[in-house]
Every structure is written in C-alpha cells, then in structure tokens.
Amino acid sequence: MNLSEQTKKIQSFIKAHHDISKLNEKEVSDFYIQLIDCVVDHNHLYYIENKPIISDKEYDELFDYLKKIEEHFPQIITSNSPTQTLIGQVSEWFTQAKHETKLLSLENTYNAKDLEERDERIHKILQKQEPNAKISYRVEPKFDGLSVELIYKKWIFTQAITRGDGLVGDDVTENVRTIKNVPKKLKFPLDIHVRGEILMPKSVRKDINKEREEEWEVPFANTRNAAAGSIKLLDPKEVDKRWLVVHIYDILNDVELPKGTKLIDLFPVFPREKTGLHIKDIVKLCEDPATKKMLESKDIEFDGLVIKTESLEQREIIWTTDHHPRWAVAYKFPAQLAATQILSVDFQVGRTWIITPVANLEPVQLSGATLKRVSLHNFDFIKEKDIHLHDRIWLQRSGEVIPYIVSVITDRRTGKETKINPPKTCPSCHEPITNIDIHYYCTNPHCPEKTKQQIQHFVSKHCMDINGIGESLVDLLVENKIIATVADIYKLSDNKIQVQLLKFPGIWDKKVAEIVKGVEESKHKALRRLLNGLWIPHVGKKMAQDLAEQLTHEDFVKELTNEEFLSSIYGIGEKTVESITKFFHAKHNLKLLEQLKHYGVNMNPKKYYDLLKASEAKGSFSITWSFDLPREKIAEYFQQNGYFFHEQPTKTTDFMLIGEKAGSKKAKAQELWLKIYEWWETIVKHFPFLKDIQTEWAKPKTQSLF
C-alpha cells in the first residue's frame, strides 16, 4: 500500500471514529502506530523532498487526531511520535548541526472558536498565579517558507541551520551566504542567534518557472517548495541564481542589543505587526477578508497570521511543550474551496509539446472569479487523485490565482463516472503520440500547434525578439499556411507576402513595416538568441549563452554533436548532452538551420561581438558576486542603456562590476587587465542610470500591519 492509499484509509477511519472517547485501547493501538508512520512519511515529503501530496489542512487533521488519541490514551504514547519531537525533517545530504536553543513548531488553528477556547485556557493558567490577569496579544504575518537559524559571532555571520527536528538541522551556511539580504557583518560586535524564514519572492518563482518550462523541467508548485528546494541544492552557485530572501522575526539567545537598537536595525525584518490586541480584536482581524487580501498583494507568500501573548512574563508562566509554545498559535487562512463537476476533458499541446489533459467544469464561483477549466497536469496526477470523468471535485484557488483540484468527492459518485484515458493521437494534427516518463508527446515535427508554440517562442523577448509578431498573428500565419516553420518567418520580408498580409483585417502598412523591420534586425542578433529560439530540449536562455560562448566557428553543428566537447562545458549534464546531440543529428533540424542560413540569419559565434565593436554600442561588461539587488536586473539596465553583457569576462570585455566578496571572476578580470568598478556607490556614480532601479529594491518603511 502506497502513502496515498494509506492516507485515504486513515482519513476514512478518522471520519468514521470522530469521537475518540467511544474507542477502546485495543481498537486504537494498531491504528496509532499506522498514523504515526503516515505523519512521519508526510513530514519527509514536505520538509525533505519538498513534494507534499496532501494539503496543509489535511496534514493538520491527521496531526490533531494523533494528539487527541494521546490525550485519551496517554499510556500508549511512544517517543517516536511526531507530537514528542519533529521527526522526518532532517536530510541525509548535508552536515548536521545542533541548535543551542530548540526551534519549536507552532500549533495551527483555522477558526475563531479555537482562538477563543485557547484564550480561555491561557486565562485559566495565568489566574492560578495572577487572579486578575489581563492578556494582550501581538499579531504578525505567518511566512510560508523554510525556517532557519542564523548565528553571528562577534558581528560576523558564521553559520545557518535549518529547523530540522528542532534539536538538529542541516548546516546550509554556504548556501545562505549567497542570499543577498543576509547581513554578512553586523553594525555591532554581537554574539547573536536569530530565527527567520527563507523565502522565494512570487515574482522570482514566476520567472524561474518560465525558464524551467523552457528547459523542459517541472515548474515549482509553490514558493515554499521553491525556497526549500533551492536552499537544499548541493551547489551554492545554483542557489545564488534563485534570488532567495530571508526575513528575521526572533532572537534565540540571551543577548542585549545596544541601547536604542531594534531587530529591524540589524536584520531584514518584514515590518508589519499589530500589538496590544484583545481576543475579540484578534478574531475580527483573522476573519476580515481584507487581511488576507492585503498580504496576498505582497511579493512574498503568507499563509496566515501568528498570534503571540505579548507579555514575556506571562509567556514564562504559560510555557511550552516539547513540540510547540503554548503562548503562540498560527491562524491559517482557510483554503478557498468550491465543489463542482468535471463535464468533459480536452487534450491540448502545451509550450513544451507535452499533451496536457484539461478538465471542463460546471462553472463555479471561487475567490471572485468564475472557473470553467482546470489543468489535470498529467496522468500520474489523475491516477494519484483517482479522478474520473463526471466526478464531483473540490477545487481550490490559491493567492496566485491558479485553480487546483484538491480531491474527488467520492461520496457523490453515482456509478456513471468513467476512467480518463490518454488520447491515441495528437489533438491538433491527429498523428501518433509517444509516452515518455509521465508525459505524452506528439511525434509529428510539423504539428500545427507545435509550430505555433515554436514560432511564438522563437520571436519572444529572450530569443530573436522580433517586434510586431504576437500570438494572434502567429495563429493567423500558421492557419493560413503562410508560414510552417520558424525559418518561414523570414519570408515576411518578401513583397508578395506583405501584400498578402495587408488583406487581413487589422493589418495596415504601419504594422507590416514594423514586422519587416523586426525580422530584418533579428538576422544580426547574437547566436545565443538563435540557440535559445530553436527550442532544444533542456536548453534555455542561460544554457544557450554558455554554448554560444564556447563555439568557435560558423559550422557549429560539428561541435554540438561532439559529446566530449559538450561534456567539457560547465553545467551541462549527461541528459542535456544527449538532448543537444540528438537535436543536431535530426535531418529536419539540419534542414531548418540551412534555411535560416539561406535567409542571412547570423550563425557566427564571433560575428555579433565584431559588429558590436563597430557599432554605436557603449561597450561590454561582466558582473560578479553579491549585490543588494539581482545581478540579472543590473545587467538588464546596462543592456537597455547600450552596453553588451558577457556572462564570463574575456579579452573583448571592457569592464567588470564587482560586488561583495568577489572570487575567481575578479582574479580573471585583473589577469585580463579589465577596468574594474567595485562597490555599489562607486558603480552608481559612474553609471547614474542605475539609480532608477534602487527604488524597486529599497527597504520598506516600518508601518502597521493593517
């Protein structure tokens, strides 16, 4: 029995035996062990694999039932229960490190009744020592990221440890060093341990997912998994590319800050909190839709609020368990769910030529939108969720708008539901399809839908960047058989084709002139853009640039079919080598390259550099190490202002921008006698246009949470 089946069986037991007081010890004992194993396995998937298969609410229901069993039958409690310690949360790939102060978890609640009952229990505890005790609370946003401890010795950052099981975590120091907003040196010589959350901004996840799709990799499901998966990468250089951030919210050791200094003066702190609240204020705040809406508008992910007893003295009295503090609780925003029915299933050819099943739904209102369709992702997802045609389902819509099937409402089945089978042919061209891993692909290289997708990619900003050719025009050109491959785009410079275009509604002389200008300009662009535009499996923007920089002559096909040459390029793995060589051995791809060459598209790795030197460009630059804002953003602004970007410094590079703690690239720049601009203030002084981007990444001013 796999974990998914085991979980369903346990959930059924819980539903049938909601009142634990009616069970006897014999009935509970065996189930108790099964429940522990189930929760531990889900911990491992969530914290280590970053691939949870149940929702947070479903997990909390399992965990709460485990606690109720232990409350009613304390004699059966075992030391390996997740209620006694955080089990299943330490990985085997990193060095382990101990926490000097145990990092506790938080209990979760989803409704006002729980909050009010908790307030009553706290009052009873306090009244034993202080009969007229008055309680005030503070509220902070609850980050949806990866918990971490940062350690500073005499003001120097020395170590970072994940929460792990609370006592021992993973030492991720070198990876955390790459996070731009982590201070490497404090303003004061403090020995301080702080706790915070590692997060991936939503905007960063969106960009990374786009790149992952272009490189035929599975996109991140949410920002929490993206952050956790990134910080657990074994190569700090790869972590550096993920643009993670840290927000600190607690001091763990007994240390006195300099007079007049607050935590926010030393560390990145998300400056949103509300203090001095009564329980009625807390309930009102939690249930107000505007609270969730405000937090959803931020670029980092929150999944609720943290409610803490404000008085430190009262916290000492209330105390903690081995698992969680009793003076704090996490109020989780309720998932936005709606029930609807799957009416039919369509299959569509996606961006990476994968045939994706999509469910057509009985229209349903959810989070202010009418939903009519939802992705079924792949047939593993359909099997795991046990989804059938005509099933009624629970649909969830997250703050990121994308609807998601949480589960099937099996109690609503009538017997008329039928299995969803993969198509036998491509839904676009009706040619045979093939199954690779969990996906189905169209085998026809001339499939109209694949052609549209490839052309849209080819003309996009990070590829040939051809102005005037958008999705609707691509559809028009392909459907009217004016173009059938990316090479046919260059036919648009032909006068006869231009006359044909003018016959379509909405296309005028000015539009045609814009298209022709964009097409002609694209012929002279860098080879890296062409390589990215060809849509070679596992080759995206970065890989295309790495390849282009290593190629030596115009007949690059010989090099790109040489496995030894490809394997020597940093960052290229066996799977990518196989994909590139297969692509450039295929006859239809070689024919496409010949057509592009015939139309005058640049295929010379060095030509663009030569043209740049002879043109009006202001120069070329490279960039290395850490800045307070993304290097990609800095490079983008330089390119917008007439400079050409070199990923690696070469003899043709004019100058190097260097951030904090530069390494081998700085040494290489010095070896090449390049002009070096070091420290942000100096760089901005020489390139004033960079002032425009400082406002985007400026530290937010302290203000009220609501």
| 142 classed as catalytic | yes
Three-class DSSP category at 22: helix
The band of 172, judged by pLDDT with boundaries at 50, 70 and 90, is: very high
Query: Domain span at residue 118?
Result: 96-332
Arithmetic mean of pLDDT, 508-521: 91
Mean pLDDT of the chain, nearest integer: 84
List 645's β-bridge partners, or say none: 621
Quick one: 314 and 342 in the same domain? no
Q: Which member of 142, 292, 452, 525 is catalytic?
A: 142
Q: Is the separation of the CB atoms in 609 and 619 below 8 Å?
A: no
What's the full length of the chain, in residues?
Answer: 706
Last residue of a domain, one of 332, 363, 397: 332
Distance CA 532, CA 541 (A): 6
Quick one: 137 and 252 in the same domain? yes
What percent of the chain clears pLDDT 70, i.e. is strictly above it?
89
pLDDT of res. 401: 54
Query: How crowded is residue 21: how many other Cβ atoms within 10 Å of its Cβ?
Result: 6
CA-based nearest residue to 403, from 381, 433, 370, 426: 370
- More confident position, 451 or 692: 451
Whether this prediction's pTM lies above 0.95 is answered by no
Last residue of a domain, one of 522, 553, 587: 522
CA-based nearest residue to 335, from 247, 384, 395, 288: 395
Distance CA 37, CA 238 (A): 34
Quick one: 320 and 382 in the same domain? no
Quick one: 209 and 102 in the same domain? yes
Q: Is the separation of the CB atoms in 149 and 169 below 8 Å?
A: yes
- The C-alpha angle 488, 489, 493, rounded to 5 degrees, equals 105
Quick one: 349 and 391 in the same domain? yes
Distance CA 152, CA 376 (A): 47
Distance CA 357, CA 395 (A): 16
- Over 60: is that where the pLDDT of 98 sits? yes
225 to 68, 108, 213: CA distances (angstroms): 29, 19, 17
Report yes or no on 691 lying in a domain.
yes
Arithmetic mean of pLDDT, 215-238: 74
Distance CA 8, CA 329 (A): 28
Report yes or no on 291 lying in a domain.
yes
- More confident position, 484 or 47: 484
Structure tokens at 539: 């080759």
User: Which single residue is written with the structure tokens 């485990």?
Assistant: 66
Distance CA 63, CA 71 (A): 13
Three-class DSSP category at 242: coil
Quick one: 576 and 647 in the same domain? no
Report yes or no on 497 lying in a domain.
yes
- Over 70: is that where the pLDDT of 609 sits? no
Helix-, strand-, coil-residue percentages of the chain, each rounded to 5: 40, 20, 40
- Over 50: is that where the pLDDT of 703 sits? no
pLDDT of res. 89: 53
Arithmetic mean of pLDDT, 83-89: 58
Arithmetic mean of pLDDT, 659-666: 67
For residue 262, give the amino acid letter. K
Assign residue 500 the CATH number of its domain. 1.10.150.20
Quick one: 514 and 532 in the same domain? no
Quick one: 34 and 62 in the same domain? yes
pLDDT of res. 202: 84
The band of 614, judged by pLDDT with boundaries at 50, 70 and 90, is: very low
- For 380-424, write each residue's pLDDT tens digit: 889 888 999 999 898 876 544 578 888 888 877 889 999 999 999
Quick one: 270 and 382 in the same domain? no
Instruction: Answer positive or negative: Cα dihedral of 557, 560, 564, 565.
Output: positive
Mean pLDDT check: name the lowest of 211-225, 448-462, 480-494, 672-686. Answer: 211-225
pLDDT of res. 280: 93
pLDDT of res. 611: 47
Assign residue 43 the CATH number of its domain. 1.10.287
Quick one: 533 and 514 in the same domain? no
Report yes or no on 21 lying in a domain.
yes
Arithmetic mean of pLDDT, 96-113: 88
HEC string for 132-156: CCCCCEEEEEEECCEEEEEEEECCE
Three-class DSSP category at 557: helix
Quick one: 156 and 202 in the same domain? yes
- Over 50: is that where the pLDDT of 615 sits? no
- Over 70: is that where the pLDDT of 92 sits? no
Structure tokens at 255: 């240390």
The band of 213, judged by pLDDT with boundaries at 50, 70 and 90, is: low
Arithmetic mean of pLDDT, 628-644: 76
Q: Decide the pairing of beta strands 146-153 and 192-199.
A: antiparallel
Q: How many domains does the chain have?
A: 6
Q: Is the separation of the CB atoms in 267 and 183 below 8 Å?
A: yes
- Contacts with 395 (C-beta within 8 Å, 6 or more apart), sequence order: 337, 338, 339, 340, 361, 364, 366, 371, 374, 403, 404, 405, 406
Assign residue 410 the CATH number of its domain. 2.40.50.140
Arithmetic mean of pLDDT, 170-178: 91
pLDDT of res. 84: 66
- For 551-592, write each residue's pLDDT tens digit: 888 889 999 999 999 988 867 888 889 989 999 999 989 999
Last residue of a domain, one of 42, 76, 110: 76
For residue 412, give the amino acid letter. R
Quick one: 651 and 676 in the same domain? yes
Element (H, E) at 529: helix 527-533
Assign residue 166 the CATH number of its domain. 3.30.470.30
| Highest mean pLDDT out of 74-78, 433-437, 478-482, 683-687 | 478-482
- More confident position, 619 or 335: 619
Report yes or no on 304 lying in a domain.
yes
- More confident position, 646 or 249: 249
- Over 60: is that where the pLDDT of 608 sits? no
pLDDT of res. 622: 86
Structure tokens at 564: 């030894």
Report yes or no on 426 lying in a domain.
no
- For 423-478, write each residue's pLDDT tens digit: 999 999 999 999 887 789 888 878 888 889 889 999 988 889 898 898 899 999 99
pLDDT of res. 83: 75
pLDDT of res. 617: 58
- Over 90: is that where the pLDDT of 152 sits? yes
Considering all CA atoms of the chain, what is the largest pairwise distance in Å, rounded to the nearest integer? 93
Distance CA 172, CA 239 (A): 11
Arithmetic mean of pLDDT, 307-322: 85
